[in-house]
Homo-oligomer: A and B are copies of this chain.
Amino acid sequence: MKSQLRRGTLEMVLLRLLSEGEMYGYEVASELARRSRGRFEVGDGTLYPVFYRLEKEGYVEPTWRPQDRGVPRKYYRLTPEGTEALETLMAEWRGFVEGVERILTPAADEEQKS
């Protein structure tokens, strides 16, 4: 149920994290949980498809980096288009939240009938 809320915000949130520097999938998952204090936990089965979508739209670019030990990691880096998309998405998000809040709180001061 609550997972429906996440729709539409995942892309934004991923782009936001990448805007601070390249990251790999697993890192993103744990960083999300940490920052949101558990309010935004997402499994890797959810995560990777989002990355592919972002990649296909040209918002991120992957680079495989072999590790001294362990399996190679796929690091994602934000493109200029991704930066632009992030701004758009954040503006949409803020506008949306504002709209919802305006409905949730009766507000009293907006008596401009249709």
A residues adjacent to B (C-beta < 8 A)? 1-9, 12-13, 16-17, 20, 30, 32, 34-37, 39-40, 90, 92-93, 95-100, 102-104, 106-107, 110, 113-114
A87 to chain B, nearest CB (A): 12
In the assembled complex, which residues on chain B have CB atoms less than 8 Å from the CB atom of A4? 7-8
Contact A2 B96 (CB under 8 A): yes
Q: Which of B7, B12, B17, B103 contacts A13 (CB 8 A)?
A: B103
Given contacts A7-B8, A97-B97, A114-B30, contact A103 B2 (CB under 8 A): no
Partner of A16, one of B17, B36, B99, B103: B103
CA distance in complex: A7, B9 (Å): 11
